[in-house]
Structure 1
Amino acid sequence: MTTHTTVAEKIASLSGYGPTSSVAQAQYRLDLVAHWSISPGARVLELGCGQGDTTLALAEAVGPDGHVDAVDPGPLDYGSPKTLGQAHDTISAGPFGARIAWVQSEPLAFLAAHPAARWDAVVLAHSLWYFATPALIAETLHALAARTPRICVAEWSLECTPGSSALTHVLAVLAQGALECRKPASASNVRTVVSPAAIKALAASAGLGLVQEARVVPGAAVYDGRWETEHAVRAQFKEEVEEFVKDEREKGMVYAMRDAVEANLARAGGMKGVGTMDGWVAIFEPTSAK
């Protein structure tokens, strides 16, 4: 019997992760990229590439004649189950390796170091919540406006499909965001929670106009909802609330959000019942190009 390998299975096999979750994650990333219509042969800049989940989907889209500059400021020993460095090395050793250049750098520093560089598209896929402040997001978008005709964004929507079990994910993210914004510095996956509406406003302030937007529903084996919920209910969360949140009313609000996570976690039947909220994808163009 002939076995047909899907594109998601091929992409997942190049990441070096386990079979089930990685295929679902690869399919989700392919679904995001499909909304951006990345052409074969395109030159793409990805800011906040992480371990390369979206990078692989972009490398598939640009084909052998295209190229992806994949930039991330994270230390190469950051990340799990593989560190950034391990994941990048695994991908580079595969058939897409020649299509990708990995760069460890802050986005603005990278752009400043390459003042003449231009790209057919710039991608920020699930990376905006890693930025330190909304102002830094706006500054980065402004710097990109003169470098590319298209900026492609994906972030979690803070919405969930009716009937899904992803509300716990939404609440976990908001609880984390309420804590992280009170820290002088953060190494969390959730540092600055910006909604689609806020992203559109930041883009407009940077001289970018919205061309299109859509929601993408992740597969059941995309476990981001579980991961963020686990982070919100761990014992260390309470320890950090006591350390960083001094105002009693603010502290009560953060604890209330965490209590809401735990209540909805119980309603979901435990961690395995937690779903992942819908993704949001958009394309922006410099308003001068309209």
Structure 2
Amino acid sequence: MSTRKIAEIVKCMPPNEYDPSIQSVQTEHRLKLVEFWDIKSGSKVLEIGCGQGDTTAVLAYIIGDEGVVHGIDIASPDYGSPVTVGDSIDFLKNSSIGSRIKVDFETDVLSAEMDFPDKSFDYIVMSHCSWYLKSPKELHDILKKIKKWGNILCFAEWDTRVQTNEQLPHFLSVLIQAQYECFKENSLSNVRTLFTPKDIQNIVGSAGWQIVAEKTIDSSHLQDAKWEIQNTLASYKEELQSTNHLPHKFQALIQSEIYLLEAARNQDNVKSMSTYTFLAK
């Protein structure tokens, strides 16, 4: 992995005032994904769930001046912290690779107004965004709708098949979030639906795609485990209080899981889960 390439991409992203190394780590991971997908220079790419642009930046760098990345996200520009998705994308679009990027926020892929001509894109990318969806049906419907828009689907999400004890706290934190999300009508949480690799494989197939290459990538060094654990422990009481009609036994179960998470976070080497990624046609 070229450190020069990573540094050039990081310069296009807004700096993290708390820890400048964070963006380098995140960018290196996205670069591994894009290299596995083998996206070519000059390609037209549709990125669904682009968020703050971590994958967008890498895509724009790889496709070169002749390529285009069209990002779509249902979030409003003021969503996100410590930098909003809108501010992050604005910074990216003002960088040396910004002319290759177009982003539409507050855009629902499943709305009747949202459409592209057949085969408008060489690749369609969904990178670490599926857990933001509200249900398995929503993922299925998106995958089915977008199939006519592009030739190849490039997909990545956390791999819930925990491989080491150090990854268990990360998994437990997202499992806790996913459980109380089942009782919500609306949500802005990081984890709204938890998909295992097997869930994803089944949904992809039922939507008409065929996986042609897949891989599990080591992402244990990413900071996301720490972030998710902190977020879960800081917000679970408010989440439970704001969700009506939760059974008392379920609330007790969540509290027991929180006790386990509090104990697990004190392990010396908490690590993020791996990432499951694939190409489908």
TM tier relative to shorter chain: over 0.9
Query: Is the 1:43–1:66 contact (alpha carbons within 8 Å) kept by the matching residues of 2?
Result: yes
- 1:126-174 CA-to-partner distances (Å, cap 9, x unmatched) read 00011111101000000112221211100000134436x2221111010
Q: 1:111 to 1:201 in 2, by over 3 A?
A: farther
Q: 1:121 to 1:92 in 2, by over 3 A?
A: same
Identify the residue that residue 67 of structure 1 maps to in structure 2: 68
Cα distance in 2 for residues equivalent to 1:5 and 1:259: 40
Query: Is the 1:28–1:219 contact (alpha carbons within 8 Å) kept by the matching residues of 2?
Result: no
Identify the residue that residue 168 of structure 2 maps to in structure 1: 167
Query: Is the 1:155–1:281 contact (alpha carbons within 8 Å) kept by the matching residues of 2?
Result: yes
Cα distance in 2 for residues equivalent to 1:219 and 1:30: 15
Identify the residue that residue 288 of structure 1 maps to in structure 2: none
Cα distance in 2 for residues equivalent to 1:283 and 1:110: 27
Structure 1: 5+ residue runs without aligned partners? Answer: 286-290
The normalised TM-score by structure 1 is 0.89
Question: How does 1:93-172 map onto structure 2 within 5 Å?
Answer: 93-104=94-105, 105-109=107-111, 112-116=114-118, 118-162=120-164, 165-172=166-173
Matched, 1:214 2:182: no
SS where residue 59 of structure 1 aligns?
helix
Q: Aligned letter for 1:154?
A: A
Matched, 1:80 2:81: yes
Query: Is the 1:174–1:257 contact (alpha carbons within 8 Å) kept by the matching residues of 2?
Result: no
Q: Aligned letter for 1:280?
A: Y
Identify the residue that residue 176 of structure 1 maps to in structure 2: 177
Cα distance in 2 for residues equivalent to 1:127 and 1:109: 18
The normalised TM-score by structure 2 is 0.92
- Compute the displacement of 1:117 (Å): 6.1
Identify the residue that residue 58 of structure 1 maps to in structure 2: 59
Query: Is the 2:178–2:191 contact (alpha carbons within 8 Å) kept by the matching residues of 1?
Result: yes
Matched, 1:10 2:8: yes
Cα distance in 2 for residues equivalent to 1:209 and 1:111: 27
Identify the residue that residue 228 of structure 1 maps to in structure 2: 228
- Compute the displacement of 1:201 (Å): 0.5
Output the aligned Cα RMSD.
1.8
Query: Is the 2:220–2:274 contact (alpha carbons within 8 Å) kept by the matching residues of 1?
Result: no
SS where residue 151 of structure 2 aligns?
coil
Identify the residue that residue 277 of structure 2 maps to in structure 1: 281
Q: 1:82 to 1:262 in 2, by over 3 A?
A: same
SS where residue 182 of structure 1 aligns?
coil
- Compute the displacement of 1:107 (Å): 1.8
Query: Is the 1:123–1:153 contact (alpha carbons within 8 Å) kept by the matching residues of 2?
Result: yes
Q: Aligned letter for 2:272?
A: T
Q: State, as a whole percentage, how many aligned pairs show the same letter.
A: 31
Q: Aligned letter for 2:97?
A: F
Q: 1:122 to 1:251 in 2, by over 3 A?
A: same
- Compute the displacement of 1:255 (Å): 2.3
Identify the residue that residue 240 of structure 1 maps to in structure 2: 239
Q: 1:180 to 1:208 in 2, by over 3 A?
A: same
Q: 1:233 to 1:256 in 2, by over 3 A?
A: same
Cα distance in 2 for residues equivalent to 1:200 and 1:73: 24
Q: Aligned letter for 1:11?
A: I
Count the aligned residue pairs: 275
- Compute the displacement of 1:229 (Å): 0.3
- Compute the displacement of 1:110 (Å): 8.1
Cα distance in 2 for residues equivalent to 1:118 and 1:15: 27
Q: 1:15 to 1:111 in 2, by over 3 A?
A: farther
Q: 1:111 to 1:146 in 2, by over 3 A?
A: farther
Structure 2: 5+ residue runs without aligned partners? Answer: none
SS where residue 213 of structure 1 aligns?
strand
Q: Aligned letter for 1:81?
A: P
Matched, 1:250 2:250: yes
Higher relative contact order (Cα pairs below 8 Å, separated by 6+ residues): 1
- Compute the displacement of 1:115 (Å): 4.3
Cα distance in 1 for residues equivalent to 2:86 and 2:210: 35
Cα distance in 1 for residues equivalent to 2:143 and 2:271: 31
Cα distance in 1 for residues equivalent to 2:116 and 2:149: 10
Q: Aligned letter for 1:12?
A: V
Query: Is the 2:167–2:220 contact (alpha carbons within 8 Å) kept by the matching residues of 1?
Result: no
